[in-house]
């Protein structure tokens, strides 16, 4: 699949999968769009200057298309996800790069499935996250919650655990994970490990795991960041990454990916739009560095 020259923004205002985490991520797509105007204002004559990379970026060949929001069916996860998958598929068919603004982390599965079904080869997944999101099913959360999208992705025929990279995972989790992870072969770099690694090392290890895939989906759960930097998230897990770490690692990955989402930005728990502004920065970083 060729890298698209069009950049498609899609809102997914859904937090019906926030069964354990805090709801409120449905308000993130519009909040991130509004925050992005602060950066959009700097575009002049289809150019913008990247201060940190000392680079003038010409956007004249890049068409930025806002595809609006997913049609939400509040009473049905199935119908909402069907609508989402169809919309992401249309963006791919249009030759655009899908950049999805969630939404709780359950929103990743329709995007992953759309990319999976649109491509003919193997699919890799890069997941920035505090959590593992590999829960199969539970009486409280069901099968399509914010804790299950990676488990559902592994059920797709062209996705293998050795092509999944989880970056920034940390804290504590259910005891069954010990045996499950040992048997699966998912590539993990915990937050503590990333703190002791250079960005280049993280990038190289990530791309090594995805070297044999045809397309890559990147999902960025905002809670990969330490709560000190991102208070507006679905859950607080101390010991996370810094924005600078994530920005630098992502800079080395953008040119290799074919779809991306941001999940779990929660304006209801944010402070002075700190977290929302990070989402807007990620949006601009992706569209200028691909």
In this model, does residue 135 exceed pLDDT 90?
no
Is residue 50 marked as binding? no
- pTM greater than 0.75 (yes/no): yes
Q: Provide the pLDDT confidence category of residue 285 given band limits of 50, 70 and 90.
A: very high
Is residue 251 marked as binding? no
Q: In what order do the strands lie in the sheet with 259-263?
A: 63-69, 6-12, 96-102, 259-263, 215-221, 123-128, 164-169, 187-190
- Tell me how far apart the alpha carbons of residues 22 and 102 are, in angstroms, rounded to a whole number: 14
CB atoms within 10 A of CB 133: 25
Q: Supply the pLDDT for residue 3.
A: 54
Q: Supply the pLDDT for residue 4.
A: 60
Q: Provide the pLDDT confidence category of residue 14 given band limits of 50, 70 and 90.
A: very high
Beta bridge partners of 47: 44, 58
Tell me the average pLDDT across 93-97.
96
Tell me the average pLDDT across 9-21.
93
Q: Supply the pLDDT for residue 196.
A: 98
Tell me the average pLDDT across 217-222.
98
Give domain limits for the chain. 6-289
CATH for 6-289, options being 3.40.800.10, 3.40.50.300, 3.30.230.10, 3.40.720.10: 3.40.800.10
Q: Supply the pLDDT for residue 21.
A: 86
Measuring CA to CA, which residue among 100, 71, 74, 79 is closest to residue 88? 100
- Predicted confidence (pLDDT) per residue in 28-39, tens digit: 999 999 999 999
Measuring CA to CA, which residue among 217, 91, 236 is closest to residue 154? 217
Q: Provide the pLDDT confidence category of residue 280 given band limits of 50, 70 and 90.
A: very high
Q: Percent of the chain at pLDDT above 70?
A: 99
In this model, does residue 102 exceed pLDDT 50?
yes
Q: Provide the pLDDT confidence category of residue 1 given band limits of 50, 70 and 90.
A: very low
In this model, does residue 130 exceed pLDDT 90?
yes
Q: Provide the pLDDT confidence category of residue 246 given band limits of 50, 70 and 90.
A: very high
In this model, does residue 171 exceed pLDDT 60?
yes
Is residue 195 marked as binding? no
- Tell me how far apart the alpha carbons of residues 137 and 280 are, in angstroms, rounded to a whole number: 33
Is residue 131 marked as binding? yes
Tell me the average pLDDT across 99-121.
97
In this model, does residue 2 exceed pLDDT 70?
no
> Look-up: residue for tokens 């990279």?
165
Measuring CA to CA, which residue among 256, 282, 286 is closest to residue 7? 286
């Amino acid at each position: 699949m060729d890298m698209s020259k069009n950049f498609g923004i899609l809102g997914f205002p859904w937090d019906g999968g926030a069964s354990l985490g805090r709801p409120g991520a449905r308000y993130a797509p519009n909040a991130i769009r509004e925050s992005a105007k602060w950066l959009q204002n700097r575009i002049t004559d289809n150019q913008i200057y990247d201060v940190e990379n000392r680079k003038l970026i010409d956007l004249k060949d890049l068409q930025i298309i806002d595809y609006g929001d997913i049609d939400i069916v509040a009473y049905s996860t199935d119908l909402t996800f069907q609508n989402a998958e169809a919309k992401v598929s249309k963006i791919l068919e249009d030759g655009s790069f899908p950049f999805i603004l969630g939404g709780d982390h359950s929103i990743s599965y329709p995007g992953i499935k759309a990319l999976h079904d649109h491509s003919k080869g193997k699919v890799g997944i890069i997941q920035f996250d505090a959590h593992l999101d590999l829960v199969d099913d539970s009486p409280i959360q069901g099968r399509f919650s914010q804790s299950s999208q990676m488990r559902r992705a592994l059920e797709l025929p062209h996705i293998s655990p050795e092509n999944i990279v989880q970056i920034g995972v940390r804290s504590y989790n259910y005891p069954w994970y010990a045996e499950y992870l040992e048997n699966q072969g998912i590539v993990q770099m915990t937050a503590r490990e990333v703190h002791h690694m250079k960005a280049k090392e993280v990038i190289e290890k990530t791309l090594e795991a995805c070297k044999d895939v045809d397309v890559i989906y990147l999902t960025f759960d905002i809670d990969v960041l330490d709560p000190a930097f991102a208070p507006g998230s679905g859950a607080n897990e101390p010991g996370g990454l810094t924005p600078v770490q994530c920005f630098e690692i992502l800079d080395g990955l953008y040119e290799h990916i074919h779809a991306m989402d941001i999940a779990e930005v929660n304006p209801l728990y944010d402070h002075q739009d700190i977290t929302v502004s990070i989402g807007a920065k990620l949006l601009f970083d992706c569209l200028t560095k691909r």
